[in-house]
Structure 1
Amino acid sequence: MNSRSQSELDWINQIDWLREEARALDFGDIKVSDTDLSQAGPKLREWLDAGCHGDMNYMSEHAHLRADPSKLHPGTIRVLTVRMDYLPDNAPMRTALDWRQKEMQKLEQGEQAVVAMYARGRDYHKVLRNRLQTLADRIASKIGPFGYRVFVDSGPVMEVELAQKSGLGWRGKHTLLLNREAGSMFFLGEILVDVPFPVDAPVTSHCGECSACIDICPTQAITGPYQLDARRCISYLTIESKGPIPLELRPLMGNRVYGCDDCQLACPWNKFAQLSQVPDFLPRHHLDHVSLLDLWSWSEEDFLSRHEGSPIRRIGYEAWQRNLAVGMGNALRSDAVSEQDKQLIGNALQKRRQSSTPLVLEHLEWALKQISNQVN
């Protein structure tokens, strides 16, 4: 066996330093991959051709770039992929015997609004981007000027494929990345670089015969292992879709008004999910425990000001009200909601009939029809 050259050893030492710097910036881990995604390209094209991306036209517009990261920044030969955990480090999370069960119970409290955990705090795009930029600056201070480009769910990058290729985890059957030490409750970010860092090896899958994520999906959006039809996904319906939510899917959404965590809550690996050390991810405006009525009472000015710096702000007030109307309609259908709360919800919906946009009004009228538990 040939001994490693001094230059190879130097780069390996740089990787050790890089991981220390990444952890100092509150990244859970950092791994390195090359840019070869040739095996993933055909799968992406098949998914797009089937129309599973719905109205997310940006997925198809730059598909050729997604399959080849080297085209996104001249000279790119490596991709640094980071993980940043986002479970809030607060008293409710620290004292819960099982935080997943605690979150699942919120789905049974029909008068409560359920917001996906990642969206309850500050916009992760800004948090990760700023820290990745800091990491890039530190790399430049260490090795000298180099070419790079930072991405945080903001460009045509196949994040999970790159993370899987780098050994940061494996793709779960729900299509999200899973990590043995952190489950799936984390964000991903990338730095495309022209530096020949040694690549990390992929890890094997550890899902086995488990189908918990598939079985629990409220809308059956996970059509099979590693297959997601975004058009049925509650995250897509409440965030990406700008039009009417299909009638047949509304009752299945329950009180989920922004995103959905069900497949992650059911995953056994998330018992290892890590609490975040980043204060930005602590819940704002009681989004971890807030009623549908409270959120419905917000004016557009309230929505814009209270969601300043939040990922929720991007969907706009109209989509926010649309989602809430569906949640309130489902509350009116629920046997778990008191008659008093149903009366308050019905009155609140009635008061908005004259001031709602056509899109919101259509969902509002549907909601009011649920008083008799008849879906129309």
Structure 2
Amino acid sequence: MLFTSTQEKYTHFIKQEAKNLGFMSCGISKAKFLEEEAPRLEKWLNENRHGQMTYMENHFDKRLDPTKLVEGSKSVISLLLNYFPEKKQNPTSYKISKYAYGKDYHFVIKEKLKSLLTKMQEEIGEIHGRAFVDSAPVLDKAWAAKSGLGWMGKHSNLLTKQVGSFYFIAELIVDIELDYDTPVTDHCGSCTACIDACPTDAIYEPYKVDGSKCISYFTIELKDEIPTSQQGHFQDWMFGCDICQDVCPWNRFSQSHREPLFNPHPELLNFSKEEWEEITKETFNEIFRKSAVKRTKFEGLKRNIAFLKNDI
């Protein structure tokens, strides 16, 4: 293949290696201050839409400017990794979000990003960079949108025409110039399926989500008791929530992932409500040994199940 520039050659190499590592897609944008996102984030925080997620208030400048995270950074490489499962949970049981079915995605993706950076260093030479997987002040969805990987849906998740939204977003921020992609257009149109389906009215306006009203917030981030005002609204979700994604018409294109580490423990799929209600700490540790569900801890999951059990 003939390349018109070194940047084009390196960009092609990176995207090919990303594909080889199992990433669904890869887009690249110039590392610079996110001017459009800055006032939106400030307003969201001032309106206390983040609830008890006080970490969102930290590192405001770093959240908006990758050059403050990685010295000398020139490019943000955004990557998508599919997690849509082949098999789903027992539909009559309590539910957990599909992203948490298998091994904690932080570990799975971090290893892939390290491998990609190593491959880049071997091919290109000395490159300084950092990998980010939902664990540092990086606006993942904003960078993925800038890199042309999708558009921000009305539920505030990234959407892609060919595959929907059931994927993780990760970044490599590096200190080399590359060929940059351009954003795609919005294809939500007049659809309001996600807004209409949200049982807690967390999507208070198109493209705006009140994090402190989301079922995922209540079942994962909230450390206090779940407010009784939310009784009857959770539709059996005990960890996270997929409602706004499940109803999205673009997710009819979702296809099963091919990452064995994301495959669920068999008991996770088959447990009945009664079995979840009687779960012991030992069983919890076995089923969720290396799972993102560990974030809520055994006590948190029991709290969520007790709340659902009393639903009216």
TM value normalised by structure 2: 0.95
How much has 1:302 moved relative to structure 2? 2.7
Query: Helix, strand or coil: the match of 1:118?
Result: helix
Structure 2: give runs of 5+ residues left out of the alignment: none
Q: Partners in 1 of 2:72 and 2:4 — Cα distance? A: 20
What one-letter code is carried by the residue in structure 2 that aligns with 1:45? E
Query: Helix, strand or coil: the match of 1:20?
Result: helix
What one-letter code is carried by the residue in structure 2 that aligns with 1:217? C
| Counterpart residue number, 2:28 | 32
What one-letter code is carried by the residue in structure 2 that aligns with 1:34? K
Higher helix share: 1
Tell me which of 106, 125, 136 is aligned to 1:155: 136
What one-letter code is carried by the residue in structure 2 that aligns with 1:46? K
Q: Partners in 1 of 2:269 and 2:142 — Cα distance? A: 31
Query: Helix, strand or coil: the match of 1:248?
Result: helix
| Counterpart residue number, 1:274 | 255
Whether 1:69 and 2:50 are equivalent positions in the alignment is: no
What one-letter code is carried by the residue in structure 2 that aligns with 1:22? A
What one-letter code is carried by the residue in structure 2 that aligns with 1:202? P
Query: Helix, strand or coil: the match of 1:174?
Result: coil
Q: Partners in 1 of 2:258 and 2:310 — Cα distance? A: 37
Whether 1:86 and 2:67 are equivalent positions in the alignment is: no
Change (3 A) 1:54 1:223: same
Pairing 1:232-251 to 2, within 5 Å after superposition: 232-251=213-232
Query: Helix, strand or coil: the match of 2:106?
Result: helix
Q: Partners in 2 of 1:46 and 1:263 — Cα distance? A: 23
Check conservation: 2:268, 2:287, Cα contact below 8 A: no
Whether 1:196 and 2:192 are equivalent positions in the alignment is: no
Tell me which of 43, 46, 64 is aligned to 1:49: 46
What is the aligned-residue RMSD (CA, Å)? 1.6
Q: Partners in 2 of 1:15 and 1:55 — Cα distance? A: 40
Structure 1: give runs of 5+ residues left out of the alignment: 1-5, 94-102, 334-376
What one-letter code is carried by the residue in structure 2 that aligns with 1:265? D
How much has 1:8 moved relative to structure 2? 5.7
Pairing 1:116-195 to 2, within 5 Å after superposition: 116-195=97-176
| Counterpart residue number, 2:290 | 309
| Counterpart residue number, 2:242 | 261
How much has 1:281 moved relative to structure 2? 1.1
What one-letter code is carried by the residue in structure 1 that aligns with 2:12? D
1:100-131 Cα offsets, whole Å, 9 max, x none, are xxx8x92xx3xx11111111111111100100
TM value normalised by structure 1: 0.80
What one-letter code is carried by the residue in structure 2 that aligns with 1:86? Y
Check conservation: 1:150, 1:190, Cα contact below 8 A: yes
Whether 1:10 and 2:6 are equivalent positions in the alignment is: yes
What one-letter code is carried by the residue in structure 2 that aligns with 1:314? R
Change (3 A) 1:153 1:146: same
1:226-268 Cα offsets, whole Å, 9 max, x none, are 1111111000100111111111112101311001100001100
Query: Helix, strand or coil: the match of 2:27?
Result: strand
| Counterpart residue number, 2:18 | 22
Q: How many residues align?
A: 310
Check conservation: 1:172, 1:207, Cα contact below 8 A: yes
Which of structure 1's runs of 4+ aligned residues deviate more than 6 A?
none
Q: Partners in 2 of 1:52 and 1:142 — Cα distance? A: 44
Check conservation: 2:238, 2:301, Cα contact below 8 A: yes
Query: Helix, strand or coil: the match of 2:35?
Result: coil
Whether 1:326 and 2:304 are equivalent positions in the alignment is: no
Check conservation: 2:267, 2:287, Cα contact below 8 A: no
